[in-house]
């Protein structure tokens, strides 16, 4: 099974891919759009993309691509994020003049970095920062990355669990050309656009509420048309083939300006894979 992920090796995306399928053949993509492209071109059967982090919120580019491209959501994986400070072997924290990492990782370790009192520099990925330090032999530069990146890039672990808050999780989506058949413990993701009238969101949510369907997430995003014009990414319990969900989707269709079903898939952590 070929799975496209955001590279390089050693990222949290790799951890998500291993949880989804321990034996998958991973193909590294340089950015999130390339993960979608590897799926569309047939290079890979699945792709893994980050969609939200408990501290940083949604990953905008993933939401945009889900809206624009044809990929469907096949599954989800939630990864606990633990950041480590890595550097060349023999380096002490006092030797560091600079720490590099993905801006989200730097933000999540703000308290630790403030105490350390060094400059920071943005890098496109956490593992890429570790690779930069390892391959270029940058003395005096630390990288914030998953612990596992140390071994990959010949670095030492100076500190572990340096994130400010413990409740740090990233939710990844598994995308594919089709969504997942019903399992009985499913979720469905949709994007909706509201007609411009007062109470439109209230009415839409009422369609779910009157059937007792629980929303697990609602995320407003600018429609890119005008200020104050939003699309809503909504996740809720149930599969689009379940009769009560099919009814909801049919009822919504008539009252919305836009409706797209991104896919139905097993909820994470309940025997789904």
The contact set with a copy of itself (CB under 8 A) reads 52-57, 60, 78, 122, 165, 167, 169, 171, 198-199, 201-202, 205-206, 208-209, 212-222, 224-230
- What φ, ψ does residue 138 adopt, rounded to 5°? -75, 100
CB of 151 to a copy of itself, least distance (A): 28
Q: In whole angstroms, how close is the CB of 199 to a copy of itself at the nearest point? A: 4
- Concatenating the DSSP letter of every residue in 232-262 gives EEEEEES-TTSHHHHHHHHHHHHHEEEEEEE
Q: Do residues 130 and 172 touch, judged by C-beta distance below 8 A?
A: no
| Residue among 90 and 198 whose Cβ is closer to a copy of itself | 198
Secondary structure E strands in the chain: 2-6, 25-29, 46-53, 57-58, 72-80, 84-87, 98-101, 119-122, 141-145, 156-159, 169-176, 186-194, 215-222, 230-237, 256-266
Pick 61 or 152: Cβ nearer a copy of itself: 61
Q: Is residue 172 annotated as a catalytic residue, yes or no?
A: yes
Cβ nearer to a copy of itself, comparing 91 with 188? 188
Which is catalytic among the residues 112, 172, 236, 268? 172
Give the strand order in the sheet containing 215-222.
215-222, 230-237, 186-194, 256-266
- Closer residue to a copy of itself, CB minimum distance, 137 or 198: 198
Assess whether 183 carries a catalytic annotation. Answer: no
Query: Taking the complex as a whole, how short is the minimal distance between the CB of residue 166 and a copy of itself, in angstroms?
Result: 10
Task: Give min distance, CB of 164 to a copy of itself, in A.
Answer: 9
Active centre residues (catalytic): 170, 172
């Amino acid at each position: 099974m070929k799975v496209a992920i955001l590279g390089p090796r050693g990222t949290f995306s790799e951890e998500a891919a291993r949880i989804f399928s321990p034996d998958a053949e991973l193909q590294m993509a340089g950015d999130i759009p390339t993960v979608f492209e590897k799926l569309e071109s047939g290079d890979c059967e699945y792709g893994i993309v980050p969609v939200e982090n408990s501290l940083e919120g949604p990953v905008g580019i993933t939401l945009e691509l889900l809206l624009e491209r044809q990929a469907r959501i096949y599954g989800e994986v939630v990864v606990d994020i633990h950041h480590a400070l890595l550097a060349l072997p023999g380096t002490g924290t006092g030797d560091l003049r600079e720490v590099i990492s993905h801006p989200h990782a730097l933000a999540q370790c703000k308290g630790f970095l403030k105490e350390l009192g060094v400059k920071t520099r943005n890098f496109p990925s956490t593992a890429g920062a570790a690779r930069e330090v390892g391959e270029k032999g940058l003395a005096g530069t630390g990288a914030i990355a998953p612990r596992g990146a140390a071994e990959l890039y010949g670095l030492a672990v100076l500190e572990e669990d340096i994130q400010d808050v413990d409740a740090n999780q990233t939710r990844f989506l598994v995308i594919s050309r089709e969504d997942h058949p019903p399992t009985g413990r499913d979720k469905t993701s949709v994007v909706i656009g509201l007609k411009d009238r007062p109470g439109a969101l209230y009415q839409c949510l009422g369609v779910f509420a009157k059937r007792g369907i629980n929303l697990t997430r609602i995320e407003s995003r600018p429609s890119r048309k005008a200020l104050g014009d939003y699309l809503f990414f909504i996740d809720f319990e149930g599969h689009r083939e379940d009769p009560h969900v099919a009814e909801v989707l049919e009822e919504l269709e008539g009252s919305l300006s836009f409706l797209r079903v991104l896919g139905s898939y097993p909820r994470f952590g309940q025997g789904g894979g």
